[in-house]
Amino acid sequence: MSNEGRFKRLLRWFGVHMYRFPVHRAAGKCDCARLDAALAAGKEVNTQKKLGSTPLMVAIAHCSDTAIIDRLIEAGADVNLAKQNGTTPLMVAAQLNQNPEVTRKLIEAGAEVNTAKAKNVIPLMIAAYNNNEKVVEQLLRAGADVKAARSDGVTALMAAAFSKKTEVVKLLLEHGADVNARSESGLDALMIAAEYSYDEQMTRALIDAGADVKAEQENGMTALMIAAKLNEPYIVEMLLNAGADPAHRDSYGKTAYDWAASYNSSVRESDVYERLCLDE
């Protein structure tokens, strides 16, 4: 192929891939003027790319203010039009946009807060893991199901505990989240907090909400064992004071002290871990 032929082919490629979706491009640039021009030229506000992304989704993912989102909604953008995998605009906001006003605008325009995609994931679960408490609060106010669980049993509360979002955990508990809900593997929010958050306030909030400090995973591991293994003395003490059983043995025959001693060479120097041993 001649250089001229390659050049023409390249131009055609750019023509297809750069200008085929002008509304998407305007949305991605947060450019209201460009959007108006594209719509005035007859471009469809709800056109979807190959995998189903819409201009509204693109704007939500890239724009922190609501101007372009307002304009798209005014032009007839479908706030419930989903991608092939079930992702809705509200789910995109829950994952990628920290501005609670964006979430509020979508809800006011009719976005469904409890629509689920694959594995029964709803926007609240996504926001609890990825976003801030203000976005989560908007979803809760709109009727998001705080007790909903994924197909594997994971809840929004567990997601927030995993991602170390203490304020989100507190907010979900205030709205009635089931503190003792279990995943398929037997994990609850308290165990997840012990494993991943190392946060005293989160642990206290879960205990005060009625978390079962003696709950076990399938292998018999408890939150106390996890905290002991990871050398979290304040969490260990909190769990012991709440009634956790230091004499409990898991399916490996180990107690919390055994786990602590296995992972921490200086465990015997700690008064808290001495208490684990004496309380057996």
CATH fold for domain 114-212: 1.25.40
Q: Are 125 and 150 in contact (CB under 8 A)?
A: yes
Q: How far apart are CA 57 and CA 212, in angstroms?
A: 40
- pLDDT reported for residue 17: 45
Question: What CATH number belongs to 1-112?
Answer: 1.25.40.20
pLDDT in tens, 197-255: 989 999 999 999 999 999 999 999 999 999 999 989 899 999 999 999 999 999 999 99
Distance, CA of 250 to CA of 188 (rounded, Å): 16
Question: What are the domain boundaries of the chain?
Answer: 1-112, 114-212, 215-279
CA dist., res. 128 & res. 107, Å (int): 17
pLDDT of residue 256 exceeding 50, the answer is yes
């890239």: which residue's tokens? 62
pLDDT of residue 125: 98
Fold matches, 1-112 and 215-279:
yes
pLDDT surpasses 80 at 71: yes
CA atoms within 13 A on the CB side of 127: 32
- Position 31 scores a pLDDT of 96
pTM of the predicted model, to two decimals?
A: 0.89
* Band of residue 12 on the pLDDT scale cut at 50, 70, 90: very low
**What is the overall mean pLDDT for the chain?**
91
Give the per-residue pLDDT at 3.
Answer: 62
Write down the pLDDT at residue 4: 58
- Fold category of 215-279 in CATH: 1.25.40
